[in-house]
Chain A
């Protein structure tokens, strides 16, 4: 009852590990499996640096027990570059997901610690709402806190990523 053998599918790979009841998902991913994209920031569920997708939903992996995620499919920021939308690994920048590239191009970051969480939240938000207003982008990033920069470039980045993804969608229609 205090230790559990669990299976997670992380970025498409099946991972089996043993966790304590109290092991948080973020620690299972980082310390147990080596996925260091999700970061440990505030530890209280506010900052969103640990955001990953669990079964398609953006979640804070510091506010979930690893055992609660047993059997689930996790996507971390490491899984984004090869996700749909990358238009060919001609060079490192091309291999990035359009959201990652937009953060790079719009300078939507300073130290970058919070960026993986921002990217993961933005990914879900843009999937549900491909053409968000700046106000809606700001509202959707409420659960991601950056202490280094402001949010203007982050909002620019999400808006730019939305444009890229819409163009990508329309250019691949009918294929």
Chain B
């Protein structure tokens, strides 16, 4: 499987990348970041662009920074960078956990957060987490900067609202009220996934972010990828939890509403799992994701500081 022939240009900066995309505006130009979504598509013949504009070397798009309570993640931040970032695990747990589920060690070393979101595979792990984080996706183009709400970004079938000539440069994750203002509220997040046995993508992936105050859920956000195209929030689940006691009964009742406005006939389907199957098991995964998020919010379970595949010195594993 050799990729078809294409031209290749390397950009040294965001400005140069935008200029190159403008230069090739009359051709089918694609942005190459880590390449771990795009190269398999090229090799399999699913994509055949004329030109690749490689932004992989634009190192100043690789960062995780705190900015006024929000966390800014540069588009070229790799999955491995996110894995190692304790701020993201504590402040954007659902996002960090979703990213930690992408691929394997080698893929996480090269694949990038921005590349993943811009490719917008409906079964990729980060999109649902971007939705529950109410992230802002920052694009740069010929007309300058444009901020896009994650809710307005994904269009289905891998499409996004990025315009021709625009480059995704940053993901901004707003802070949640986790009690640091003295309100007594605590926040928790989680991502739970049933993995596609061949591709490693999500058959069903559910991200949850909750805030609990005085034993009640004051904010609940739940989104799914792998089932609907594009990934989406589950409004009935969120509505069921709003103001409800933070207990198993509420979670059960909310999870029962997971498929309320989903059309099984339109669900993502392939040889491994039909759309009907994915919709059938969705409530189970919603329940598990919410249970973990609530446990983390209430302190019943600790929020991890790193993923299980990058354990700290004492990881409690099954030593021989």
Complex formed: what's the CA distance from A144 to B251 in Å? Answer: 38
B180 interfacial contact with A, CB 8 Å:
no
Task: Say yes or no: A143 contacts B104, CB within 8 Å.
Answer: yes
Contact B6 A140 (CB under 8 A): no
Q: A residues 133-162 with Cβ under 8 Å of B? A: 133-136, 139-140, 142-144, 159
Q: Quick one: which of B3, B42, B316 has the most chain A CB within 10 A?
A: B3
Contacts A57-B109, A134-B317 given; indicate if A128 touches B7 (C-beta within 8 A): no
Q: Is B54 engaged at the interface, CB distance under 8 Å to the other chain? A: yes
Checking B36, B310, B318 against A134 with a beta-carbon cut-off of 8 angstroms, the contacting residue is B318
- B198 neighbours in A (Cβ, 8 Å): 46
* Number of residues from A at the complex interface, CB < 8 A: 41
CB of A154 to closest CB in B, whole Å: 14
Are A129 and B310 interface neighbours, CB within 8 A? Answer: yes
A43 touches B43 (CB 8 A): yes
Whole-angstrom distance between the Cβ of A130 and the nearest chain B Cβ: 9
Docked CA distance A140–B105 (Å) = 6
Contact between A45 and B319, CB atoms less than 8 A apart? no
Contact status A51-B106, CB under 8 Å: yes
Could you pull out 5 A-B pairs where Cβ atoms are within 8 angstroms?
A4-B8, A45-B40, A63-B40, A68-B54, A136-B308
Interface residues of A (CB under 8 A from B): 1-2, 4, 20-22, 24, 27, 43-46, 48, 51, 57-60, 63-65, 67-68, 70, 121, 124-125, 128-129, 131-136, 139-140, 142-144, 159
- Contacts A1-B7, A129-B310 known; list 10 others, CB within 8 Å: A21-B8, A24-B2, A44-B44, A60-B106, A65-B39, A67-B10, A67-B54, A125-B105, A133-B311, A136-B317
